[in-house]
Structure 1
Amino acid sequence: MTVPSTPAPYDLVVVGFGAAGLSAALSFAEATEGRETPARIAILERSTEDERGGATRWTGAFLRVDEQRRLDTDWAEHVGRVSGGLADVEYCRTVERESPQTLAFVEKHGVEIDYADFPLPHTFDGGTPSMTPPASPRGGGASIVEHLGAALEKDPRVDIHYETEALRLTTAEDGAVDGVVVRGPDGRTRRLTGRAVVLACGGFQGNTEMLTRYVGDRACDLPLIAPGIANNRGDALRMALELGADTAGQFDGIHAEPVDRRTSKADAVLYGFSCGIFVNGRMQRFFDEGRDTWDNTFEHVGYEIWRNQDQEAYWIADAKTLAIPGIMNSLLSDVPPEQADTLEELADKLGIDAEGLAKTVAEFNAGVGEGEFDPTRLDGKSTVGLTPPKSNWATPLDTAPFIGVPVTAAICFTYGGVRTDLDARVVTPSGTAIPGLYAAGEATGLFYKAYPPATSVLRSLIFGRLAAHHAVQARQSA
């Protein structure tokens, strides 16, 4: 098959317009600015211009850093611990090393890092439960997309190709990657030639066939946490595997989150569940809501709801939870919780079995042990004789008003992906780098068994920059 090429080669072709792709493209543009021979850059985006940005556009983008932009000092070891030693800890230490300068890079382009109070403790600060305000971009991930995207739009060396999908990589006779075959909005294919290609187009969470193949049955029951990830169709993995690339990460692992199923709002996550209880469709508790801080449990709740609870669960709490200062900041839905003066009225509003709910709540209340309720720390206030237990924040649900939210699990990203080295170069199973090919962000595999959160956007930005820096060096030495 003959595919027409662009008339002149690009120096860099970036597949994806999220945090990783934008970071790679803009870092490369800055590093080659003022050169005698101008560098040309192409960015491919499956979506329309209005919907650009993939998952990054829709996330609140927690950042696991302190006010000096330093990564949580426990994170690399945390990833190693939860993965059972399977994760690449040196990759994680690279994230730690590169965090300050990477955030300085995005701040230089107008992204503001905010530290807003959060009502419940997290372990983003040295691995110890803390009420330290967590970091995030003001305006969420959309701020990264718009600010970095605007800088690239102003650069005459940059071509942005919207509604364009990457079909396959092309190589020179020596095996070096030298371009991408793409399909544009007219349905026709052509080849974009380039000295280097960065795969930054997310995982395969938007591809039900791949999800079923790797994650398992009932993958089709997983709604997407945001519309932008429908474009994350595993293109990076598919194209890299065709060239003999290696993989990393747990391929049947996913990051799923409990979301309010009454709304179509993106990222409508229920973070503040620790001080209530979950029941399934049979009105049975199924999870220790207080076994750890929310950041170390919300993913496990989501997975459990999908895998074992038929995608149906309800969060139930009472006035004591409502009294926690700022608690509504931990419920990201645009629909407030259902509220009632009695459990029976609440059950009616939620459309669930009132008798079954009352029985489970009564059993829970009877099992609450001694101790002082303190939502700002692991308070040790637990249940006695209940299965599953509640290890912290166990307080009777006995004070009106009662509140409830129907939840389901939504997929955020997949664990398995392309394997890279610490320069973001895609490698083969022997560890040999494929010349001219890079990958960054959720297109690359890292996590096993659990995702220690607030680092997905951060690692995307970091390894996008590292890919660009290496590609610049390769261009200079060519």
Structure 2
Amino acid sequence: MSTSATTGTYDLVVVGFGAAGLSAALSYAEATDGRATPTRIAVLERATQEERGGATRWTGAFLRITQDRRLDTDWAEHMGRVSGGLADQEYCRTVERETPQTLSFVEKHGVEIAFEDFPLPHTFDGGAPSMTPPASPRGGGASIVEHLGSALENDPRVDIRYETEALRLTTGEDGTVDGVVVRGADGRTQRLSARAVVLACGGFQGNTEMLTRYVGDRACDLPLIAPGIANNRGDALRMALELGADTAGQFDGIHAEPVDRRTQQADAVLYGFSTGIFVNGRMRRFFDEGRDTWDNTFEHVGYEIWKNQDQEAYWIADGKTLAIPGIMNSLLSDVPPEQADTLEGLAGKLGIDAEGLQKTVAEFNAAVGPGEFDPSVLDGKSTVGIEPRKSNWATALDTPPFIGVPVTAAICFTYGGVRTDLDGRVVTPSGTAIPGLYAAGEATGLFYHAYPPATSVLRSLIFGRLAGTHAAVQQSL
């Protein structure tokens, strides 16, 4: 492996060093291993070597799988329900079919899949709320970047080009993609010729201009959930559209998450909010915190905080939440919640209106209905006569110590992107594959109205693998 190639001629160029790009490059390398004429592969990364890996590097990378290494059996139907039938069901079924082989692929390269206890129920296993430990790579997405990246580094056929951005695709007279023009750290451009190109460089969440164009006003107020996604500039979408590619996914849709605004730590997500309440800057509740399990709710509260609450919210809970075994494992910030023996003291630590907070908590407490509080199930313990209601886990906030976290919404990824077929080939509006062009991961559109979580990294790995393998097979014909 060399990090600065002396020639610009390749069999495959992969744009992006995250889960999708690494999977594509490594799958292609394995599929072409042993050929009489050695293949040459280039992997392009906008970041430096130290910061490589895009969004993948920073995510905890929950995987929506069962303990027998299969996709949640309800996921494809879930996608159909939340998207109103707009999501590509064949794509979803492909994710379902390819999950076991793809997990075996990453495990073969040293990524360890762990199932670790989580303090609140999720719907990752069959669609019903469950306390089954959810899966993730041990070490998070960084483990994927380092293990798959190391395999490529150790392959002499692979050139990894850091601090290199893709500018435009090139085509032959018949429209076949035959290369990509890139710009290196020195500002100079170069054309890399290739028999196939895989676009795996994320969505457009790092491009404020594109966010404003598609997502709407005040997109500039959305902080990035991790530094790596600043390099997700919409390059795949821009370059593919220039060739007449089709799109998929909801272009004004984003996956945003509620994060602790006291820290600069990446992925400081507040998952364990269900047993408390949210208030906005005016000290009013604005969301049904218990309408569903956290995995089906956290994106919606994040979007609400950005879209309608001026990016200012506070999570408030009490000693009953602190007593839930392992609850701190669901609050991913490196800064512990603010804590006080009284609501007035908590308000002082949060810098918010104590009288307004006390009034809202008193109204909430008075509306709490009967029933037994059980954070391990949808307990049906709800409020009565208050808006917004709380549908589950409505228990009075009356047990010291009181805890709170100031929250804002951070963007993770965009919904809209390039459309591909089931081999990862980029297609036109008529469904015709553009020869030599593939895409995978968040560069491709899939989601509408909601993101059923713990599948972004998984689908990136799957379709990266399918694209790389298909390209290798096509070139052997």
Distance 2:89 2:7 in 1: 43
1:8, CA displacement in angstroms? 5.8
Q: CA RMSD in A?
A: 0.8
Note the 1:42-191 alignment, pairs <5 A. 42-191=42-191
Distance 1:195 1:474 in 2: 10
After superposition, the C-alpha distances for 1:276-299 in whole angstroms (9 at most, x for unaligned) are 000000000000000000000000
1:146, CA displacement in angstroms? 0.2
CA contact under 8 A between 2:423 and 2:470: conserved in structure 1? yes
Corresponding residue of 1:287: 287
Distance 1:8 1:256 in 2: 39
Match of 1:303, as an amino acid? Y
3-state secondary structure, aligned to 2:407: strand
Q: Give the unaligned 5+ runs of structure 2.
A: none
Match of 1:238, as an amino acid? R
Distance 1:288 1:343 in 2: 21
Match of 2:239, as an amino acid? M
Corresponding residue of 1:344: 344
CA contact under 8 A between 1:200 and 1:442: conserved in structure 2? yes
Distance 2:147 2:232 in 1: 22
Note the 1:286-435 alignment, pairs <5 A. 286-435=286-435
Distance 1:118 1:67 in 2: 15
Distance 1:415 1:352 in 2: 34
Tell me, yes or no, if structure 1 residue 441 matches structure 2 residue 458.
no
Match of 1:401, as an amino acid? P
TM-score (normalised: structure 1): 0.98
Distance 1:302 1:231 in 2: 22
CA contact under 8 A between 1:260 and 1:408: conserved in structure 2? yes
TM-score (normalised: structure 2): 0.99
Corresponding residue of 1:450: 450
Distance 2:172 2:108 in 1: 37
CA contact under 8 A between 1:6 and 1:193: conserved in structure 2? no
CA contact under 8 A between 2:268 and 2:332: conserved in structure 1? yes
Note the 1:268-283 alignment, pairs <5 A. 268-283=268-283
Of residues 27-36 and 258-267 in structure 1, the stretch that sits farther from structure 2 once superposed is: 27-36
Corresponding residue of 1:225: 225
Distance 1:386 1:27 in 2: 55
Match of 2:262, as an amino acid? R
Distance 1:241 1:68 in 2: 40
CA contact under 8 A between 1:252 and 1:415: conserved in structure 2? yes
Distance 1:385 1:34 in 2: 70
Distance 1:8 1:228 in 2: 26
1:67, CA displacement in angstroms? 1.6
CA contact under 8 A between 1:6 and 1:191: conserved in structure 2? no
Of residues 267-276 and 7-16 in structure 1, the stretch that sits farther from structure 2 once superposed is: 7-16
3-state secondary structure, aligned to 1:195: strand
After superposition, the C-alpha distances for 1:222-263 in whole angstroms (9 at most, x for unaligned) are 000000000000000000000000000000000000000000
3-state secondary structure, aligned to 2:404: strand
Distance 1:286 1:260 in 2: 18
After superposition, the C-alpha distances for 1:64-122 in whole angstroms (9 at most, x for unaligned) are 00122100000011011100011101101100000000010000000000000000000
Corresponding residue of 1:216: 216
Distance 1:184 1:221 in 2: 30
CA contact under 8 A between 2:369 and 2:384: conserved in structure 1? yes
Aligned residues: 473
CA contact under 8 A between 1:340 and 1:401: conserved in structure 2? yes
CA contact under 8 A between 1:102 and 1:461: conserved in structure 2? yes
Corresponding residue of 1:245: 245
Match of 2:122, as an amino acid? H
After superposition, the C-alpha distances for 1:149-170 in whole angstroms (9 at most, x for unaligned) are 0000000000000000000000
1:266, CA displacement in angstroms? 0.1
Match of 1:384, as an amino acid? V
Tell me, yes or no, if structure 1 residue 206 matches structure 2 residue 206.
yes
1:144, CA displacement in angstroms? 0.1
3-state secondary structure, aligned to 1:196: strand
3-state secondary structure, aligned to 1:436: strand
Distance 2:13 2:41 in 1: 6
3-state secondary structure, aligned to 2:9: coil
Distance 2:67 2:390 in 1: 33
3-state secondary structure, aligned to 1:10: strand
CA contact under 8 A between 2:64 and 2:71: conserved in structure 1? yes
3-state secondary structure, aligned to 2:63: coil
Match of 1:288, as an amino acid? D
- Structure 1 residue runs of 4+, over 4 Å off? 5-8
3-state secondary structure, aligned to 1:194: strand
Q: Give the unaligned 5+ runs of structure 1.
A: none
Distance 1:399 1:158 in 2: 59
Distance 1:358 1:213 in 2: 41
CA contact under 8 A between 2:8 and 2:191: conserved in structure 1? no
CA contact under 8 A between 1:278 and 1:289: conserved in structure 2? yes
Classify 1:54/1:8 alpha carbon distance in 2 versus 1 (closer, same or farther; 3 Å).
Answer: closer
Distance 1:292 1:420 in 2: 32
Distance 1:295 1:155 in 2: 39
1:40, CA displacement in angstroms? 0.5
CA contact under 8 A between 2:19 and 2:460: conserved in structure 1? yes
Distance 2:463 2:7 in 1: 30
